[in-house]
Amino acid sequence: MSLSASLGIPREVEEELTRDPIARKILITIFKMGTVKPRIGLETGIRYPPFEDLPNWRSVIEKLIKLKLVDRSVADRLVHCPRCGSIHVSSRLLCPWCKSFNIEPTYIIQHTLCGYIDTESKFRDPNTGQLICPKCKRPLRKEGLDYVVIGKVFECLNCKRKSNKPMIVFYCRNCSHQFDYLNTVYEPVYEYSLTPLGQKVVTSGALHKQDIIEALEELGLQVEAPGKEKGRSGIDHTFDILARTPQGRVLAIDFAEEKDPSLAITSRVPKALDTGVDRYIIILPSNAFEASMLVQMKNVIVLDLTEPYLVERIKAIAKELLKKETKEVEVTAEAPPELSEEQFFGEIGAFEEKEPALSENEMLLLAEEEEEKKEGEEGERKKEKKEGEKKELLADEFFGG
């Protein structure tokens, strides 16, 4: 019976997502970004900024992995301090004999003229910085000509011994603990992406459907999901969500899963033409703005699935339909109750010209006006001021309410 089931989305997944708004936000965030990668800083640790505002996101993401909606893969591995867990860890090279970290890399040089071998520091004159053979006292001229570099060693400045294999250990900058590689905690760092099922859950609209239905019902619309509307051709057209106002105006919503936005639009517009729904919202997985350029009809609105205030946008469109109704009630109270079809369509046509479909900014403004009404203030001056400010309206403000 449920639409999600017919899309191959398991029932338990659907129920879980209906219950958990954080899970829905995580899925939409990953969908938007493709892959959520860790941001690694020695002092800041391992962070996932897109998730940081979502409470308990780590446990929720574990749940989404179990539900096979999210995939995690190893993006890196990091050395953690076994004592405090910090990743602010440096490598140290120690003298294998006295364990001092105060060792210095140096070259081993052979003076080919006399055969003497020693470290570079023994050849270097402390006053002039020139290379001079400690045995025969002749200056060294050119590598390959009168001397050769035969290797690299570490010279301990503490015990003066040399080694070509220093000990490698780690030092925690957070708690000053020094540890070797056998005692290190070497943990994977993950990045997150959606599984094909996760992709499907997002693009099918399953994450938004419940919120949208509830919002429309709250406004007093009668909602079916999916809903059928008979076209003038006699064909029954199915929409993902179909909402009717008390006076029978129709708001239809479809979630388009096509990757190609123009295909998504052109295959759906005939439904709107045939049924004559008052508002038809097509929700695309991405590129809604570009796709909206393809639409010539004022009553067809293209929205982006990932926009943060999608439900508010749809509410604003529904409110605008209801607003027309209150106006019409006032008029028809004195007008004859029955209009001929011609009059009816003529009137709607005239109406449409006066009030075209709302642009994005207008819709934001509409929602703001509603808020102003609640405050009981409708002063024109305030409205003008608000209009000047509306471009600065943050998505967060909108969503947060």
Report the candidate in 318, 290, 292, 288 with the shortest Cα–Cα distance to residue 305: 288
Q: At closest approach, how far in Å is the CB of 43 from Zn ion?
A: 13
How far apart CA 18 and CA 193 sit, in angstroms, is 21
Among 70, 87, 109, 133, the residue binding Zn ion under the rule CB under 5 A is 133
Among 68-76, 108-116, 231-239, 354-362, which window interacts with Zn ion (CB under 5 A)? Answer: 108-116
Closer to Zn ion by Cβ: residue 37 or 88: 88
Among 22, 40, 159, 197, the residue binding Zn ion under the rule CB under 5 A is 159
Among 125-133, 227-235, 276-284, 362-370, which window interacts with Zn ion (CB under 5 A)? Answer: 125-133
Helix (H, G, I), strand (E, B) or coil at 372: helix
Among 151-159, 199-207, 218-226, 361-369, which window interacts with Zn ion (CB under 5 A)? Answer: 151-159
Q: What are phi and psi of 179, to 5 degrees?
A: -150, 155
Exposed/middle/buried for residue 77 (C-beta within 10 Å: 0-12, 13-18, 19+): exposed
Residue 124 is given by DSSP the state B
Q: At closest approach, how far in Å is the CB of 190 from Zn ion?
A: 22
Report the candidate in 321, 261, 315, 324 with the shortest Cα–Cα distance to residue 293: 261
Closer to Zn ion by Cβ: residue 88 or 324: 88
Does 84 interact with Zn ion (rule: CB under 5 A)? yes
Beta strands in 157-226 (DSSP E): 162-163, 167-172, 178-180, 185-194, 222-224
Among 23, 61, 87, 95, the residue binding Zn ion under the rule CB under 5 A is 95
How far apart CA 172 and CA 177 sit, in angstroms, is 5
Size of the site for Zn ion (CB under 5 A): 21
Q: At closest approach, how far in Å is the CB of 20 from Zn ion?
A: 35
List b or e across 131-164, with b for residues whose CB sees 16 or more CB atoms inside 10 angstroms.
bbbeeeeeebeeeeebbeeeeebbbbeeeeebbe
Does 74 interact with Zn ion (rule: CB under 5 A)? no
Q: At closest approach, how far in Å is the CB of 105 from Zn ion?
A: 14
Among 156, 206, 256, 318, the residue binding Zn ion under the rule CB under 5 A is 156
Q: At closest approach, how far in Å is the CB of 99 from Zn ion?
A: 7
Among 101, 107, 116, 171, the residue binding Zn ion under the rule CB under 5 A is 116
Closer to Zn ion by Cβ: residue 97 or 399: 97
Helix (H, G, I), strand (E, B) or coil at 240: coil
Does 80 interact with Zn ion (rule: CB under 5 A)? no
How far apart CA 200 and CA 67 sit, in angstroms, is 13
Q: At closest approach, how far in Å is the CB of 47 from Zn ion?
A: 19
Q: Taking a C-beta distance cutoff of 8 angstroms, is the pair 54, 60 a contact? A: yes
Number of H helices, E strands in the chain: 15, 19
Does 56 interact with Zn ion (rule: CB under 5 A)? no
Interface residues with Zn ion (CB under 5 A)? 81, 83-84, 86, 95, 97-98, 100, 111, 114, 116, 133, 135-136, 156, 158-159, 172, 174-175, 177
